[in-house]
Chain A
């Protein structure tokens, strides 16, 4: 069974700092990996989707990388802003599109 781990569980940084969130997974036979954002009391919003054949994806200040062989992904946030404060979840899908989520990293950006 796929297991997804996210480190750190919580992170607090001053505004403007660049930061990296980490995700690791145990089974490298994945279809894709997604990074989601979850705001309190709300559902999840997809930020970036990396297909199994890709190495990275970029959207604005966000960059996600994927290393299937080592079972790792990172989400890089450049020039962090208070509006980036949220919980970031990593999810991988295996054959059959079953999604497995990590427990998330709670990010606080201090003005």
Chain B
């Protein structure tokens, strides 16, 4: 089966610019996650979707970050405007459902550098 797809793989922007990332989860997976991984740290959950509804966005900096999952499939994560501290790898993951039995499948990530 095809894995989680993400694009672009790399992005370099200047601070105060806007950027968007795209994620296509594994077919049939109802749950989708966006994580931020800063160099040397573990991933931090930004937002979790169940189908097209938000389950948890408590760690999403809502003044500059937004995410949507229209039709419960693909998702986009946007940063507007970007700051230097947003430089990180943005990982998308999906799972069939949200339960203690389910593992998450991760995409390759988008590496963002803000100058």
Which A residues are closer than 8 A to B by beta carbons? 4, 31-32, 34, 36, 41-46, 49, 51-52, 89, 91, 93, 96-104
Q: Are B106 and A99 in contact (CB under 8 A)?
A: no
B31 smallest CB distance to A (angstroms): 8
Q: Mark contacts of B16-53 with chain A using CB atoms, 8 A cut-off: 1 yes-contact digit, 0 otherwise.
A: 00000000000000010100000011111100100000
Which B residues are closer than 8 A to A by beta carbons? 4, 31, 33, 40-45, 48, 55-56, 91, 93, 98-101, 103-109, 111
Which residues of the partner chain A approach B101 to less than 8 Å between Cβ atoms? Answer: 32, 49, 51
Which residues of the partner chain B approach A31 to less than 8 Å between Cβ atoms? Answer: 99-100
Which residues of the partner chain A approach B48 to less than 8 Å between Cβ atoms? Answer: 97-98
Could you list 7 examples of A-B contacts with CB < 8 Å?
A32-B100, A44-B43, A44-B106, A46-B103, A46-B104, A97-B48, A103-B40
Which residues of the partner chain A approach B111 to less than 8 Å between Cβ atoms? Answer: 41
Most buried by B among A36, A89, A96, A97: A97
- What CA separation (Å) do A52 and B111 show in the bound complex? 33
Given contacts A32-B101, A43-B106, A93-B100, 17 further A-B contacts (CB under 8 A): A31-B99, A31-B100, A32-B100, A43-B91, A43-B107, A49-B103, A51-B101, A89-B43, A96-B56, A97-B98, A97-B99, A98-B48, A99-B43, A100-B45, A101-B42, A102-B42, A103-B41
Query: Which residue of B has the minimal Cβ distance to A91?
Result: B42
Q: Are A98 and B44 in contact (CB under 8 A)?
A: no
Q: Are B43 and A101 in contact (CB under 8 A)?
A: yes
